[in-house]
Each structure stands twice: as structure tokens, then as C-alpha cells.
Amino acid sequence: MLFAADAPAATSLSASLGARSAGAYIDAATGRMVVAVTDATAAKQVRQAGAVAKTVKYSTAQLDTVQSTMSKAVDVAGTARHTDVTTNQVVVTVDSTVTGARLAAVKAAVAAAGDAARLETTADKFQLFIAGGQAIYTGGSRCSLGFNVRTSSALYFVTAGHCTNAGATWTNGSVTLGTRAGSSFPGNDYGIVRYTNTSIARPSAVYLYSGSSTQSITSVGNAVVGQSVRRSGSTTGVRSGSVTATNATVTYPQGTVSGLIRTNVCAQPGDSGGSLFAGSSGLGLTSGGSGNCTTGGTTFFQPLNEVMSVYGLSLG
């Protein structure tokens, strides 16, 4: 049987089924891996591999087409969309700023998709959270360091792109850390800062805001729906929750970002760029979301593996 620890195998199994697959996730009640499929033959293959098979109506490709078809209508500030693999639907969420004709257009687009989509609302507002977890500063902005990384010739840290867009020189509040070496926002939400101050200790670890304790990060992983995760940030410290979707899209007032990890972990301004992790595996960088850590909320993360690939980075 395949359980949460076998998520990479289940994800590979799902991908191998091609057009007959509708994604994989961890069942919260049993901890077992579930692979959604569209026909009986694929379901048999899943069971033989040790995972739970769930037969659904729409494949991943079909739901991707649904998202693409409605994208023009729903790609307005204050909206987010993702595929809910547990219900086999595209979910479009609108915040409190989407009203009038814009709201009517979103509702019409969702209705046109029939049972392949549903509309949800949030009383909060989708926003960027600019204000490894520890605080970093540029100009009048505060964000959070994501992960310490390197190439063969230089040392860096990664954080959110909407953070690195805000300034070139970064400090820890008292001494200079380094200068911006790259930034991608909107579209993506990642940035990289090259350390110019190499005397500062820079472990491959996440600060846990409990005394001086840290969590070592030894690998870069791919998030899986249902996975238990933690987030570290300079405003609210360490918070926990689970992954609710991957490849999600959110449209902030500043622009649209796609390919994100969606979670029910809370975050607040200043947590941006901070670390998303599961055990010793680094998963992502805090982008933005809705709500707060008093009432709860939804937070989106830029996948770490994309940043590592783009810049040719390794941990450390």
C-alpha cells in the first residue's frame, strides 16, 4: 500500500496514466495515497500499484481546458483558481473586491462549465504579504528569507519576487546581507539575492521561532495535495496546515501569478518570501493570500523547485 511517505511514487503513477489521470492526493483520514482516474483499466493499475483508485468524470487535461476557457473572464484582481483533485472540479474563488459586472462575468463563466467547476467566496481580500523565516529588509519593506542556496561560485538566498522587486540592497535590520541578483513577478513570485556579506552564518535550515531551534533542510520536494506542511515567517512565526491544491493561480492587484501551491496555512504581511517545508524538505516561498492568523486564511506559495531550476541552485 502507498501512504503519504510514498507521495513521489503515487505522483509518478498518476503522471504515467496520461489522459486517464485526474491527479493524486493524500487521504486525510487514512494517510493513504489516492489516484483519481477516468476508466476501469486505469483504476486496476492504480490498485495493483498499492494506491487507492477513485474513478472520476474529468481528467486533469479536461479540467486544465476548463480553466483555460474561463481564464479571460475570471482573470481579474481579487480572484484565484485551482483544480480540486478531491472533488474533480475547478474552483474559482472571489474576494470581497469583486463586485458588479466583474462578479457577474465570473459567475457566468463558472456556470458555463457545469459540474466541472464551482464558485467560492471569501470575505477577505487576496493580497501580497510584503510588510528560512527570519526578517529581511529593503528600503521601507520587510519580508522573510526563504532558503539559503548556492551555485558553484556564489552564495545566495531566495525569497518572494514581489519582495525583490521592492529594492536591490537587503539587510537583516542591522547589517547588509547582499544585493538582488534576479527577480520574477508577476507571472511567478520568486527572487534571488547574492550574499555580499559572507561572514554571516547561513545554514541550510529554517528558523522555528522557538528559542534558537531550527529545522535542517536537506532536499527540495514537490508539494502533494493533503500533505502536512509548515511555514515560517517574520510576522507570525511558524504555522502549520496542509496543501489544498497545486498549480493554482491567483490574481493580485499587482498582477497574476500561476503554478502556485495553495494551502490552508495562515500568513500575514511580512511573512512574504518565508519558507514552506515538510520535515527536512523545502517546498516553497510565501507569496500571498487572504485572511490572517487570528481568523485563519488561505496562503499561496511559489514552488521552490522552479526557482532552483531557473537559477541552477543547490541548497546550502
- Tens of pLDDT, residues 163-198: 999 999 999 999 999 999 999 999 999 999 999 998
**pLDDT number for residue 316:** 92
Q: Is the predicted pLDDT of residue 211 greater than 90, yes or no?
A: no
Distance CA 227, CA 86 (A): 13
The pLDDT assigned to 132 comes to 82
The better pLDDT of the pair 132, 120 is held by 120
How many angstroms separate the CA atoms of 180 and 163, rounded? Answer: 10
The pLDDT assigned to 200 comes to: 92
Above 70 in pLDDT, residue 131?
Answer: no
210 has pLDDT over 90: no
Which residues does 137 contact at the CB level (< 8 Å), separation at least 6? 143, 170, 171, 172, 173
Strands 275-278 and 228-233: antiparallel
- Label residue 22 by pLDDT band (50, 70, 90): very high
Looking at residues 48-74, what average pLDDT do you find? 96
- The pLDDT value recorded for residue 180 is 99
Q: In this predicted structure, what is the pLDDT of residue 51?
A: 96
In 3D space, the residue among 77, 72, 78, 62 whose CA is nearest the CA of residue 114 turns out to be: 62
Q: Has residue 312 got a pLDDT over 80? A: yes
Q: What is residue 2's predicted lDDT score, i.e. its pLDDT?
A: 84
Query: What percentage of the chain exceeds 70 in pLDDT?
Result: 99
pLDDT at 5: 85
CA of 41: how far to CAs of 6, 28, 36, 209, 243, in Å? 22, 26, 12, 49, 29
pLDDT reported for residue 302:
99
Which residues are the active-site residues?
Answer: 162, 189, 272
**What average pLDDT does range 7-25 have in this prediction?**
95
On the question of pLDDT at 130 being above 80, the answer is no
Q: What percent of the chain has pLDDT over 90?
A: 93
Tell me which residue of 305, 316, 298, 282 sits closest to 120, measured CA to CA: 298
What are the tens digits of pLDDT across the range 236-275?
Answer: 999 999 999 999 999 999 999 999 999 999 999 999 999 9
**Mean pLDDT across the chain:** 96
The yes-or-no verdict on residue 86 having pLDDT over 80 is yes
| Angle value at C-alpha 167, between 165 and 172, nearest 5 degrees | 120
